[in-house]
């Protein structure tokens, strides 16, 4: 319990609680849990069924990447560990943006076709790029008042508890 009340651990869950954060983080979580254009492992060339030679472990890597997507999505929906979940979520949305932009621009499609399967169009790419940039704001503000982080911060903060010796 003493480890959890240290200031550096509480800094990871401390949230100021602005109201715009809650619907935003829930929407990002839903986008991670139920991707509109397929999960990231479906967009990787080495785990795609059309790829001629599957390297060993491609299925395991694809499942691990989908696992990161699901864990980050649940974290955003529940409001738990948002500041830690921002990093993998930003990488996931950046890959989705790159893949969608690659389908629109021929030069980008040629450059990334060995790694990614082009999918979608520039509009989805712009959407995912916007979400990746919005995650920077969530990194600063935290997960909002209706979250597990807010509850943990109030429960574990030693200054918030009344002194029983008085």
Whether residue 10 lies inside any domain: the answer is: no
Whether residue 85 lies inside any domain: the answer is: yes
More confident residue, 155 or 68: 68
The whole domain housing 117 covers 30-140
pLDDT at 1: 47
Instruction: List pLDDT tens digits, range 23-37.
Output: 888 899 999 898 877
Instruction: List pLDDT tens digits, range 49-88.
Output: 555 555 666 677 778 888 899 999 999 999 888 888 999 9
Task: Report the domain count for the chain.
Answer: 1
Whether residue 120 lies inside any domain: the answer is: yes
Whether residue 157 lies inside any domain: the answer is: no
Whether residue 107 lies inside any domain: the answer is: yes
**At 105, is the secondary structure helix, strand, or coil?**
coil
Whether residue 9 lies inside any domain: the answer is: no
Whether residue 106 lies inside any domain: the answer is: yes
Whether residue 97 lies inside any domain: the answer is: yes
- In this predicted structure, the answer to whether residue 130 has a pLDDT above a threshold of 50 is yes
Dig out the tokens for 73 from the structure: 């999505």
The pTM (predicted TM-score) of the whole model is 0.75
> What is the residue-averaged pLDDT of the chain?
78
């Amino acid at each position: 319990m003493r480890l959890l009340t240290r200031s550096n651990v509480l800094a990871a869950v401390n949230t100021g609680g602005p109201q715009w954060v809650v619907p935003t983080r829930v929407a990002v979580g839903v986008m991670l849990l139920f991707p509109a254009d397929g999960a990231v492992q479906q967009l990787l060339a080495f785990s795609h069924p059309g790829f001629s030679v599957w390297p060993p472990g491609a299925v395991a890597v694809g499942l691990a990447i989908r696992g990161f997507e699901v864990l980050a999505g649940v974290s955003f929906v529940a409001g738990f560990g948002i500041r830690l979940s921002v990093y993998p979520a930003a990488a996931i949305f950046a890959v989705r943006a790159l893949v969608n932009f690659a389908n629109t621009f021929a030069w980008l499609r040629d450059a990334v076709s060995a790694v990614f399967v082009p999918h979608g169009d520039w509009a989805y790419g712009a959407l995912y790029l916007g979400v990746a940039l919005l995650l920077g704001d969530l990194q600063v503000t935290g997960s909002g008042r209706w979250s597990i982080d807010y509850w943990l911060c109030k429960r574990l903060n030693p200054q918030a508890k009344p002194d029983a010796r008085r």
